[in-house]
Chains A and B, each alone.
Chain A
Amino acid sequence: EAGVTQFPSHSVIEKGQTVTLRCDPISGHDNLYWYRRVMGKEIKFLLHFVKESKQDESGMPNNRFLAERTGGTYSTLKVQPAELEDSGVYFCASSQVGGAITDTQYFGPGTRLTVL
């Protein structure tokens, strides 16, 4: 079974540009999560989808970040325009049911974003 995949693995952009990150969850997983880790800090929750609906976007830093999940399958996270403080590693995770302790969140390898 394929795990959570993320693309690209690394992106280097200049301040003010737009970047779109993509996440493909494990097949059949309705729940999809985005997290971010900035250098020296802990991994922080950004938002949670159930199928195509946003359940919780309380962690989104500001309106420069837009997440979508088309048809309840893959998800994109767009940053527009990018700022220096957006640099970090963006992780995507998915889970099958959500809410149960046995419902593990499986993480992808992350996209390393560098804003110059």
Chain B
Amino acid sequence: QKEVEQDPGPLSVPEGAIVSLNCTYSNSAFQYFMWYRQYSRKGPELLMYTYSSGNKEDGRFTAQVDKSSKYISLFIRDSQPSDSATYLCAMTPSGTYKYIFGTGTRLKVLA
């Protein structure tokens, strides 16, 4: 069983929709949670990181962590065609720098 599970998609939504991207994990030692965005033929770019359970908002993006359920989410409001990319969740236990990634979800926002 993988430590981090993420639906690969693809997920297609109309412009302006609210997008929900999710990951589940099995290792209760994970303390830090990141969301990366990766455009085709580019490297992953950090969107958001969270440490504790709860919500964190940054513009159109909201990251949510539920440690009791071992479940994290990224919400994108008012989605734009420029949001079309692969979204990767990553996490790491406290005290290590080794990121554990999900497989990524391909998102396409249709104009």
List residues of chain A with CB under 8 Å of any chain B CB: 4, 31, 33, 35, 40-45, 48, 55-56, 58-59, 91, 93, 95, 98-99, 101, 104-110
Contacts and interface: CB of A to CB of B under 8 A. Distances in A.
A99 B101 CA distance: 17
B51 to A, nearest CB: 5
Contact of A43 (B2, B88, B97): B88
A99 B94 CA distance: 8
Contact of B2 (A42, A95, A99): A42
Given A107-B43, A109-B42, A101 B98 contact: no
A10 B52 CA distance: 39
B103 A41 contact: yes
B96 interface: yes
Contacts of B102: 42
Identify whether the interface residues of B are mostly helix, strand, loop, or mixed. loop
Given A42-B103, A42-B104, A95 B97 contact: yes
A4 B43 contact: yes
Interface residues of B, number: 25
Counting chain A CB atoms within 10 Å of each CB, the highest count among B6, B44, B88 belongs to: B44
Given A42-B103, A101-B51, A59 B98 contact: yes
A42 B4 contact: yes
Interface in B68-106: 88, 90, 95-104
Contacts of A105: 46, 97, 99
A42 B2 CA distance: 10
Given A33-B97, A105-B99, A106-B46, 13 more contacts: A4-B43, A40-B103, A42-B6, A43-B99, A45-B98, A91-B44, A93-B43, A95-B97, A99-B95, A101-B51, A107-B45, A109-B41, A109-B42
